[in-house]
């Protein structure tokens, strides 16, 4: 799948599809969803992971993926929340 534009309906649908294909709330399922999202969409933000992949706190999952040998770069960007406030969020990219 090509990189989808941030916030696009295609991107959201792709992330929801990942969640439906990899259910579960255990750490392994969460890691698999995060890794799949980075592979399929090019990146995943902390915001998307929490809201669309059901990964409550993505930071430990990224730490675990790195410990397993995955090279993941963290970038930062401003994102607007549902309430309209701008926040810095982490953007994880698989190298």
pLDDT of the residue at 43: 97
pLDDT of the residue at 51: 94
| pLDDT tens, the chain, 95 aa long | 344 555 688 999 999 999 999 999 999 999 999 999 999 999 999 999 999 999 999 999 999 999 999 999 999 999 988 889 999 999 999 99
Backbone angles phi, psi at 93, to 5 degrees: -125, 130
Q: What is the mean pLDDT of the chain?
A: 92
pTM of the model: 0.88
Q: Report the C-alpha gap between 18 and 78 in whole angstroms.
A: 24
Q: What are the structural domains, with CATH classification, of the chain?
A: 9-94 (1.10.10)
């Amino acid at each position: 799948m090509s990189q989808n534009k941030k916030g696009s309906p295609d991107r959201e649908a792709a992330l929801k599809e990942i969640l439906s294909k990899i259910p579960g709330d255990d750490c392994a399922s969460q890691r698999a969803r995060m890794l799949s999202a980075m592979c399929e969409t090019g990146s995943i933000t902390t915001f998307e992971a929490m809201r669309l992949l059901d990964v409550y706190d993505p930071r430990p999952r990224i730490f675990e993926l790195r410990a397993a040998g995955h090279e993941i770069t963290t970038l930062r960007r401003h994102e607007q929340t549902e309430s309209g406030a701008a926040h810095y969020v982490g953007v994880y990219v698989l190298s």
